[in-house]
Amino acid sequence: MSFSGARRTALGLLLAAVATFWQAQGLPRWGFDGPGTGIFPQVLSGIAIALSALVLLLERRGPQTLESDDNEAVSRYDLAEPAQRRVFHFYLLALVLLVVGTWWLGFIVTVAAVIITIMRFGEGVSWRATLITAFIVAAVGQFGFGWLLQVSLPEGPVDRALLGLMRAAGML
Amino acid sequence: MENLIGGFATVFQPATLAYCFIGVFLGTVVGILPGLGPLTTIALLLPITYKMDVTSAIIMLSGIYYGVAYGGTVTSVLMRIPGEASSVITCLDGYEMARKGRAGAALGIAAFGSFFAGTVGVIAISYLSPPMSRWVLAFGPAEYTMVMLAGLALVTYFSSGSRLKAVLMAVFGLLLSTVGSDPLTGSARLTFGVFHLLGGIDLVPLAIGLFGISEVLSMALTKREKMKVLAPPSSLLGFMPNREEFRRSVAPVMRGTVMGFLIGLIPGGGAVLATFVSYATERKLSKNPQEFGKGAVEGLAGPEAANNAGTAGAFVPLLCMGVPANAVTALLLGAFMIHGVAPGPTIMERQPEIFWGIVASMYVGNVMLLVLNLPMIGLFVRILDVPRAWLASVILMVCLVGVYSTNSASTDVLLAVMFGVVGYILRRYGYDLGIVILAYVLGGIFERSVRRALAISDGDLAIFVSTPLTIAFAVITAILVVIAFIPRRVIGPRTEKQTALDP
A64 vs B: CB within 8 A: no
Per-residue pLDDT of chain B (503 residues; tens, 9 = 90+): 677 788 888 888 888 889 889 888 888 887 777 666 777 778 877 777 777 888 888 888 888 887 877 777 887 788 776 666 677 788 888 888 888 888 888 888 888 888 899 889 888 888 888 888 888 777 888 988 898 888 888 878 877 678 889 899 999 999 999 999 887 788 889 888 888 888 889 888 898 899 889 888 888 887 766 556 666 666 666 778 888 888 888 999 999 999 889 888 876 666 777 888 888 888 888 888 888 888 888 988 999 899 888 888 888 888 888 888 777 888 888 888 888 888 877 777 788 888 888 888 888 888 888 887 777 777 777 776 778 888 888 888 888 888 888 788 899 999 999 999 999 999 888 888 888 988 998 888 889 889 999 988 888 889 999 888 899 989 988 888 887 677 655 444 444 433 333 33
Mean pLDDT computed over A22-32 = 87
Beta bridge partners of residue B320, listed in sequence order: none
Q: Which long-range contacts (CB under 8 A, 24 or more apart) does B99-106 make?
A: B99/B230, B99/B295, B100/B295, B102/B245, B102/B295, B103/B77, B103/B78, B103/B230, B103/B231, B103/B232, B103/B233, B104/B232, B104/B233, B104/B238, B104/B239, B104/B240, B105/B239, B105/B240, B105/B241, B105/B242, B105/B245, B106/B77, B106/B300
Nearest chain B CA: its distance from A94 CA (Å): 9
Determine the pLDDT at residue A71.
Answer: 43
Chain A neighbors of B451, CB-CB under 8 A: 34-35, 39-40
> What's the confidence (pLDDT) of residue B83?
63
Name chain B contacts of A58, Cβ cutoff 8 Å.
164, 487
Cβ–Cβ gap A37/B182 under 8 Å: yes
- Residue B446 backbone zone (phi > 0: left; psi -120 to 50: alpha; other: beta): alpha
Using the beta-carbon criterion (under 8 Å), do B190 and A122 form an inter-chain contact? no
Of A36, A51, A90, the CB nearest to B167: A51
Contact of B44 with B212, CB cutoff 8 Å: yes
A22, A57, A68, A116: best mutation site toward chain B, by most B Cβ within 10 Å?
A68
Binary contact (A72, B432; C-beta < 8 A): yes
In this prediction, residue B471 carries a pLDDT of: 93
| pLDDT of res. B411 | 92
Q: CB A58 to CB B168 under 8 A? A: no
Q: What is the CA radius of gyration of chain A?
A: 24
Which of A47 and A168 is assigned the larger pLDDT? Answer: A47
- Reduced to 3 states (helix: H, G, I; strand: E, B; else coil), residue A61 is coil
**CB nearest to A48's CB, from B171, B213, B420:** B171
Q: How many CB pairs under 8 A join A and B?
A: 219
Q: How far is B255 from chain A (nearest CA, A)?
A: 28
pTM value surpassing 0.95: no
CA distance B198 to B171: 21
Across the interface, of A35, A51, A92, the residue whose CB is closest to B454 is: A35
CA distances from B260 to A134, B64, B72, B302, B320 (A): 44, 19, 17, 9, 19
Q: What is the pLDDT of residue B348?
A: 76
The conformation of residue A143, written as its DSSP 8-state character, comes to I
The string of pLDDT tens digits covering residues A48-99 is 999 999 999 887 655 444 444 444 456 677 777 888 889 999 999 999 999 9
Q: Are the beta carbons of B450 and A35 separated by less than 8 Å? A: yes
Q: Which of A13, A72, A58 is nearest to B429 (CA)?
A: A72
- Asked if A91 lies within 8 A of B189 by C-beta distance, the reply is no
Residue A87: its chain B contacts at CB < 8 A?
Answer: 220-221
What was the pLDDT predicted at A67?
Answer: 43
> What are the residues whose beta carbons fall under 8 Å from the beta carbon of A26, sequence distance 6 or more?
A38
Segment (H or E) for B96: helix B88-97
CB contact under 8 A, B397 and A75: no
Q: Would an 8 Å CB–CB cutoff place A168 in contact with chain B? A: no
- Res B425: pLDDT: 92
Q: Is A48 within 8 Å of chain B by CB?
A: yes
- Contact flag A76-B221 (C-beta cutoff 8 Å): yes
User: Which residues fall within 8 angstroms of residue B361, CB to CB, at 6 or more apart?
Assistant: B7, B11, B16, B20, B59, B62, B63
In chain B, residues with a C-beta closer than 8 Å to the C-beta of A33 are 455
Task: Give the per-residue pLDDT at A98.
Answer: 94
Across the interface, do B190 and A20 touch by the CB < 8 Å criterion? yes
User: Which of A48, A74, A141 lies closest to B427 in CB terms?
Assistant: A74
User: From the candidates A43, A70, A75, which should be mutated to test the interface with B, based on the most B CB atoms within 10 A?
Assistant: A75
Count of CB atoms situated within 10 Å of the CB of B476: 17
Residue in chain A lying closest to B186 (CA): A37
Chain A closest CA to B180's CA: distance in Å? 11
User: In the beta sheet, which residues pair with residue A34?
Assistant: A31
Summarize the confidence of residues A9-19 as an average pLDDT.
95
**Distance of residue B410 Cα from the nearest chain A Cα, in angstroms:** 6
The per-residue DSSP string of B385-454 comes to: GS-HHHHHHHHHHHHHHHHHHHHT-HHHHHHHHHHHHHHHHHHHTT--HHHHHHHHHHHHHHHHHHHHHH
Asked if A35 and B451 count as a contact pair (C-beta separation under 8 A), the reply is yes
CA distance A37 to B202: 20
Task: Confirm or reject contact between A99 and chain B (CB < 8 A).
Answer: yes
DSSP B270-297: HHHHHHHHHHHHHHHH-S-GGGTTTT-H
pLDDT of residue B322: 82
Cβ–Cβ under 8 Å, residues B448 and B456:
no
Q: How near does any CA of chain A get to the CA of B429, in Å?
A: 6
Chain B residue closest in CA terms to A30 = B459
CB contact under 8 A, A107 and B50: no
- Could you give the CA distance from residue A119 to residue A122 in angstroms, rounded to a whole number? 6
Smallest CA–CA distance from B419 into chain A, residue: A95
